[in-house]
Amino acid sequence: MFRFLEYLLIAGYIAVLLVISHWIGQQAYSWMPLQATAEAKKVDDLFSFLVSIGAFILLGLVGMMLYSVLFFRASKEDYSEGHPSRGDVRLEILWTATPTLLVLWIAFQSFNIYQQLNILGLGQIVHLHLPLESHSVALASLGASPANAAIVSDVPKPASETIDVFAKQWEWSFRYPNNLTSNELHLKVNRNIRLNLHAQDVIHGFYVPEFRLKQDIIPKRDIDIVLTPTRTGKYKLKDSQFSGTYFALMEADVYVESVEAYNQWLTQTASEPTAIKNQAVAENIQVAKTLFKSGWYTVAPDQPAVANERKVSNDT
């Protein structure tokens, strides 16, 4: 089929592509935000792997198309046949089998990394679950009957602490283990933390880009996410699932800090109640400053709560 020279050229082409795609894969790390959790590094490794393979395929095929456009042009009057070949069974088997193997490899890598990410999904969709029970009771019942443990395949990794996250239109609030409520999320660096996610009205989404983790929050469901922040700093929590008029304003500050700084903040703010600055409410109150105003209906955002209270009761 091919002469030796042609095989050599193909091999050379593939070698060059491998080098270039590997290099592009290495660049991919710089396209991502900072890595702020243990999980982030794994996701970035996966991304780099995917980019390398993608670049290889893209450059390979587009390169061939470019070559064709440059070197296989016919003269304007020549409508004769290019070549009579209608196909090549061996080649077609090769280009079906190779992508299959490639895809299996990618799937395997992704599966591995997913297992390492501690994202807790819900039980099976047909599993009888108790929507109104609190999370701790549900966990206890899991432990009590080992048979049930097999049904729920996402077993949470034990976390040192739990913070309750409350999402509503259009504000985040957080309740710490000592019952302090705040609209800032403070996390201890290098300690894993369970975030218990609650949505009051519509579906919201918990997302911090630097954490590489995202989880939709469904009203009336128990949803957890477990993560380990590894880099101190200030980040932004955003609502990732479209939740209505002021969806773009639903943000909160996230502080990853040392244990001492965390404890200091906790005790300090417990004694200083402050009003929460709610961007949605602020914008809703004032007249819109946009060029075109529709005057269409919007759900009214709740008045901002008083933050940093130590709440005695357990409700939101």
Partner 1 sequence: MEHRPIHLDESPIRFEEWRRRLPNWLQRFLPSGGGSHEDHHGKGMFGFTVFLLSESIIFLSFIFTYVVLRLNTTNWLPPGISGPELSTLVIINTVVLLSSSFVIQPAENALKRNQLSKFRWLWLITIAMGIYFLIGLLIEWKNLDFKLTTGLVGSTFYLLTGFHGLHVLAGVVLQIIMLIRSFIPGNYNQTHFGTSATTLFWHFVDVVWVFLFSLLYLWRA
Partner 2 sequence: MTHEFSEAIAEDREPLDNWRQYFRFSTDHKVIGVQYMVMTFIFFLIGGLLAMIIRAELLTPESNLVDRPLYNGLFTMHGTIMIFLWIIPFNAGLSNYLVPLMIGARDMAFPLLNAISFWILPPAGILLISSFLLPNGTAQAGWWSYPPVSLQFPPGQLINGEFIWIVSLILIGISSIMGAVNFVTTIFWMRSPGMTFFRMPVFVWSVFSAQLLQLINLPALTGALILLLFDLAFGTQFFKPEEGGDPIIYQHLFWFYSHPAVYIMALPAFGIIAEILPAFSRNPLFGYRSVAIASLGIAVVSIFVWVHHMFTSATPGWMRMTFMFTSMLVSIPTGVKAFAWTATIWKSKLHLETPMLFAMGAAAMFIFGGVTGVMLAATPFDIHVNNTYFVVGHFHYIVFNTITMAIFAAIYFWFPKITGRMYAEGWGKLHFWLTFIPANITFFSMHPLGLQGMLRRVSSYDPRYQGWNVIASLAAFLLGVSTLPFIANIVGSWLYGPRAVDNPWHATGLEWTTSSPPPRDNFAEIPIVTRPPYDYGDPKYSVIKNSNNGE
Contact residues toward partner 1 (CB under 8 A) are 125-131
Considering only 7, 130, 157, 242, the residue that binds partner 2 (CB under 8 A) is: 242
Q: Looking at beta carbons only, is 191 or 221 nearer to partner 2?
A: 221
**Which one of partner 1, partner 2, none interacts with residue 74, CB within 5 to 8 A by kind?**
partner 2
The CB-of-121 to partner 2 minimum distance in angstroms stands at: 4
Q: Provide φ and ψ at 124, rounded to 5°.
A: -55, 150
Positive or negative torsion for Cα 216, 222, 228, 229: positive
Q: Looking at beta carbons only, is 242 or 311 nearer to partner 2?
A: 242
Taking the C-alpha atoms of residue 179 and residue 187, their distance in angstroms, rounded to an integer, is 15
Q: Does 43 bind partner 2 (CB under 8 A)?
A: yes
- Tally of CA atoms within 13 A in the half-sphere of 270 that contains its CB: 15
Secondary structure of residue 195 in the 3-state scheme: strand
Q: Looking at beta carbons only, is 69 or 89 nearer to partner 1?
A: 89
User: Rounded to 5 degrees, what angle do the CA atoms 128, 134, 136 make?
Assistant: 100
Considering only 10, 16, 103, 130, the residue that binds partner 2 (CB under 8 A) is: 103
Q: Looking at beta carbons only, is 142 or 203 nearer to partner 2?
A: 203
- Tally of CA atoms within 13 A in the half-sphere of 312 that contains its CB: 0
149 contacts 142 by C-beta, under 8 angstroms: yes
Considering only 146, 147, 158, 220, the residue that binds partner 2 (CB under 8 A) is: 220
Positive or negative torsion for Cα 233, 239, 241, 245: negative
Q: Which stretch binds partner 2 (CB under 8 A): 4-12, 14-22, 199-207, 259-267?
A: 199-207
Q: Does 73 bind partner 2 (CB under 8 A)?
A: yes
Q: Containing H/E element for 280?
A: helix 279-285
Going residue by residue from 248 to 277, which x/- string records binding to partner 2, judged by CB under 8 A?
A: xx----------------------------
Q: Does 294 bind partner 2 (CB under 8 A)?
A: yes
